[in-house]
Amino acid sequence: MELISVEELKELKDSGKEINLIDVREPQEREEFNIGGTLIPLGRFKTYDVDELEPLKDEEIILYCRSGNRSGQAGMILETMGFTNVKNLQGGMLRWQEKFG
């Protein structure tokens, strides 16, 4: 699994390119602050309940959470499921807010 920096992700988002952005935090965390990713909490990854991601198996998927820990776990699970292009947002939302407010 590769890491992607908040700067690289912001550039991707600003380019208008379609990206597969997945938020693995809990719903209440997302309500406090989010950058528009699809919410799939980490618990669903742990039970392999992520069928909606199956069509993206060979596409780039960018995962994020609060700090990068939970999204790293989700990324490892996806890789064991055969996903080939998984990236983890380094520093997560803490880093994003620190950098971009």
DSSP H or E run through 63: strand 61-64
Q: For residue 8, what are the domain limits?
A: 2-100
Q: Report the domain count for the chain.
A: 1
**C-alpha to C-alpha distance for 20 and 100, rounded to whole angstroms:** 21
How far from chain centre, in Å, is Cα 85? 12
Per the DSSP assignment, residues forming a β-bridge with 89 are 4
pLDDT digits (tens, 9 = 90+) for 56-68: 999 999 999 999 9
pLDDT digits (tens, 9 = 90+) for 12-58: 999 999 999 999 999 999 999 999 999 999 999 999 999 999 999 99
pLDDT of 101 over the 90 cut: no
CATH number of the domain at 33, please. 3.40.250.10
Q: 90: which 2 tokens?
A: 């380094």
**C-alpha to C-alpha distance for 98 and 76, rounded to whole angstroms:** 26
